[in-house]
Amino acid sequence: MHDIQLDSSGRLRHLLTLDGLGAARIDALLARAQAFVARPGEAVKRSDILRGATVANLFFEASTRTRASFEIAARRLGADVLNLDINISSAAKGETVLDTVRTLQAMNVDAFVIRHAESNLQRLVAEHVAPNVAIINAGESHANHPTQGLLDALTIRQHKPDIASLRIAIAGDIRHSRVARSAVHALTALGARDIRLVAPRALLPAPGEIPGEYVSDMDAGISGCDVVMMLRIQKERMQASSIPDFAEYHRQFGLNEERLARIKPDAIVMHPGPMNRGVEISDSVADGPRSVIFEQVNNGVAVRMAVLATLLEHRFA
For ligand CP, what does the binding mask look like between residues 202 and 241, x meaning CB under 6 A?
A: ----------------------------------------
C-beta closer to ligand CP: residue 139 or 254: 139
Reported as half-sphere exposure (CB side, CA atoms, 13 A), residue 308 has a value of 36
Q: What is the DSSP letter of 205?
A: P
| Residues in region 67-126 near ligand CP by CB under 6 A | none
C-beta closer to ligand CP: residue 44 or 68: 68
| CB of 217 vs ligand CP, minimal distance in Å | 26
| CB of 268 vs ligand CP, minimal distance in Å | 17
Do 282 and 256 contact (CB within 8 A), yes or no? Answer: yes
Cα(12)–Cα(24) distance, integer angstroms: 12
For ligand CP, what does the binding mask look like between residues 127 and 166, x meaning CB under 6 A?
A: ------------x--------x------------------
C-beta closer to ligand CP: residue 64 or 96: 64
Tell me: cis bond preceding 274? Omega within 30 of 0 counts: yes
The verdict on 66 binding ligand CP (CB under 6 A) reads: yes
How many helical (H) and strand (E) elements, i.e. helices and strands, does the chain have?
A: 11, 9
Q: Calculate the dihedral angle through the C-alpha atoms of 147, 153, 157, 162, rounding to the nearest 10 degrees.
A: -150
Alpha carbon 247 to its chain centroid, in Å, reads 27
| Residues in region 235-274 near ligand CP by CB under 6 A | 272-274
Q: Which stretch binds ligand CP (CB under 6 A): 62-70, 73-81, 190-198, 282-290?
A: 62-70
The secondary structure element, H or E, covering residue 92 is: none
Q: Which residues pair with 82 in a beta bridge?
A: 56
Per rule CB under 6 A, count of chain residues that contact ligand CP: 9
Residues engaged in binding ligand CP (CB under 6 A): 63-66, 139, 148, 272-274
